[in-house]
Chain A
Amino acid sequence: MLEVNNVSKVYGEGSAKVVALSDVSLRVNDGDFIAIMGPSGSGKSTLLNIIGGLDYPSSGEVILNGKRIDNLAENDLVDVRRGKVAYVFQQYHLLPSLTALENVLLPLIFCGANGRSSKKALDILKKVGLEKRAGHKPSELSGGEQQRVAIARALVNEPSLILADEPTGNMDRKTGAEILLLFEQLNQEGHGIIMITHDPEIAKQAKEIVVLQDGRIVGKINSE
């Protein structure tokens, strides 16, 4: 379970001060599928980064499975990233010099890969429907395929929570729908998902929609 309590994020000081998040509170149960919507600059990505320990809040707290993670030192955050939380980005963020399979293997290498790692990575690539493209570099893959690799990479450590920042933002409707289908499947398998999106159609698939504006939560819609 994830709890976000009264989180604020302020960039800069004095007249240059920008409030990205203001007193945001959120509760995500295990296995929930939450969509975050809102106009550009409303603080969606900042919220997601803080939840995932990629950024620190200015105030407030983030509690993951009963443990505060907002004030963790960098070395302890590594443990969070290695197991409980995984990210999927709009820009895929694959390493260009590695093949699809090696990109999926990456988290396992950092955890200390063993002999079964390659098999595991290949299984997960199969799950996202890309086993035939395992030896290709990102530059040889389409956007949808790259995002599948990124999702496979997120899954390889079996995270309880997947944070996705506009994962279909760079895709045509058809490809986006396929990716979304994959997320729904993962959600049904028990992975919690928090997804940023601009697309109301996509948001509808979520159990709950959180709407942000100017750094504040202005609405929560339960789609069920």
Chain B
Amino acid sequence: MKLYRIVLKDMARRKKRVLFAALGVAIGTMTVVGVLTIALAGQARIYNELEKYGANLAVTPAINNVDTHLGDLSLGTLAVGENYIPEETLPQIRQIADGEIRKARGITDQGDIATIAPELYINTEVKGTSVMVVGVEPNEENKIKTWWNVQEGKYLEGTDQALVGAVAAKLLTLNTGDTVTLNGSTVTVTGILGETGSNDDYQIFVPLETLQKAYGKEGLVSSINIRALCNACPVEIIASAINQNITGVRAIAVKQVAEAEMGIMGRMNRFMWALGGITLMVGLFGVVNTMMSSVNERIKDIGIMRAAGASRNQIMRVFIYEAVIIGILGGIFGYLAGTLLAYIVGPLVFQGININFVLQYLPLSLALAILVAAIATVYPALRATRIRVADSFRSL
């Protein structure tokens, strides 16, 4: 028979106490596991959201702007002449963007990674009203503007079709099936977009090729929106690579939204960690309390063991074994309860969150619980071994 068997037998006799101590440990680990699980699911959700924010790189012609100033007062920027980007730069841009993403993420496959959506802007008059017509690559545009939904009719499917923004449709009283004349070419309205709250509401979208032909702008685009696949993608590196290697264009990383969102996430994570830490501390004091009374109850038993030849180290080991068992019980409880907590509280923090069992948190939970139980046990146990054997019998 070994020392740990004595511990097990003794704990079996004190099931309630042991359970109580384990629950004290579980409360702390539950919060930590719950917080981590919610944070992880929340992060996944925010990444998902960010995917929908559209382009995170914008390429525009390197136009010669004349900044007009009056003293310190800026009067805005005056664009000189019309500026376009030749379409033949598109493969080059793709090469740079995909190359940098591959480098950053360590992937080697050869497929297209970034979504690259060129746009051509033409300011024209439709039914006597000035309106912006935008030529787009229908597939690429749709991938970038994930928030688009076609309220009426269909999305762009072929040439000579038009998709009309919600406000533009109302102002111009356009319905699906109506035709619009653009510089002599006729396009048919196939769909009306739902309201987006952006400039898109005031614009008419037609296939790039159709618009280029109608206005004689073959091979030219006004701007290029690029969406790297991931949010951790090195948009700034891609931007500077494009600026260095392609003349006549200016690439800007659009990352304010992502940064703000991730900033909120970061603060939220720190807050949750703090919350988990505090709960763990509170739990620790609870366990110290439980272990203290557990040790006090057994001062006589400790005396018996020492009179029978137990050294202080052996008595400490008895309590460490007990702490480990309490830690394992508390860790398992804490993990299960923490996941349950995340399941209940998670949706209140992030809407539409998807909570999963995170198995990697089980060892973490166990380690944390054992650590808490051990810390809580060491002090009372150490104190108990300092009592003179004679006193441990006398106190009863």
A 43-80 to B, binary, CB cutoff 8 A, 1 in contact else 0: 00010010000111000000000000000001100100
How far does the Cβ of A10 sit from chain B's closest Cβ, in whole Å? 15
- Asked, given contacts A49-B390, A54-B389, A54-B390, whether A110 binds B307 with beta carbons under 8 Å apart, the answer is no
Q: Quick check: which of A23-31, A95-103, A184-192, A203-211 contacts chain B, the rest being far away?
A: A95-103
The size class of the interface chain A forms with chain B is: 20 to 34
CB-defined contacts of B303 to chain A, threshold 8 Å: 93
Q: Please state if B12 and A111 are interface contacts (CB–CB under 8 Å).
A: no
Chain B CB within 8 A of A221 CB: no
Q: Quick check: which of A81-89, A126-134, A212-220 contacts chain B, the rest being far away?
A: A81-89
User: B310: nearest residue on chain A (CB-CB)?
Assistant: A110
- Asked, given contacts A105-B1, A109-B3, whether A82 binds B9 with beta carbons under 8 Å apart, the answer is no
Q: Please state if A110 and B12 are interface contacts (CB–CB under 8 Å).
A: no
Q: Please state if A54 and B312 are interface contacts (CB–CB under 8 Å).
A: no
Chain B CB within 8 A of A106 CB: yes
Q: Please state if B6 and A98 are interface contacts (CB–CB under 8 Å).
A: yes
| Complexed CA–CA distance, A94 and B301 (Å) | 8
Chain A CB within 8 A of B309 CB: yes
Q: How many residues of B contact A (CB 8 A)?
A: 26
How far does the Cβ of A196 sit from chain B's closest Cβ, in whole Å? 14
Return the contact of A54 from the options B6, B301, B307, B309 (Cβ within 8 A): B307
Chain A CB within 8 A of B304 CB: yes
| Complexed CA–CA distance, A105 and B314 (Å) | 15
Return the contact of A97 from the options B9, B308, B310, B311 (Cβ within 8 A): B9
Q: Please state if A95 and B305 are interface contacts (CB–CB under 8 Å).
A: yes
Chain B CB within 8 A of A167 CB: no
CB-defined contacts of B227 to chain A, threshold 8 Å: none
| Complexed CA–CA distance, A117 and B310 (Å) | 16
CB-defined contacts of A89 to chain B, threshold 8 Å: 393
Q: Please state if A81 and B2 are interface contacts (CB–CB under 8 Å).
A: no
Tell me which residues from 284 to 323 in chain B have a Cβ below 8 Å from any Cβ of chain A.
300-301, 303-312, 314
Return the contact of A109 from the options B2, B301, B388 (Cβ within 8 A): B2
| Complexed CA–CA distance, A60 and B366 (Å) | 52
Q: Which of B's residues lie within 8 Å of A, judged by CB?
A: 1-3, 6, 9-10, 12-13, 300-301, 303-312, 314, 388-391, 393
Other A-B contacts than A78-B312, A110-B311, 9 sampled, CB-CB below 8 A, are A78-B306, A81-B306, A81-B308, A91-B393, A93-B303, A93-B307, A96-B13, A110-B3, A118-B1
Q: What are some 28 contacts across the A-B interface (CB < 8 A)?
A: A46-B390, A56-B388, A75-B311, A78-B306, A78-B310, A78-B312, A81-B308, A82-B309, A89-B393, A93-B303, A94-B304, A95-B6, A95-B304, A97-B6, A97-B9, A97-B10, A97-B12, A98-B6, A102-B6, A106-B6, A106-B309, A110-B3, A110-B310, A110-B311, A113-B2, A117-B1, A118-B1, A153-B308
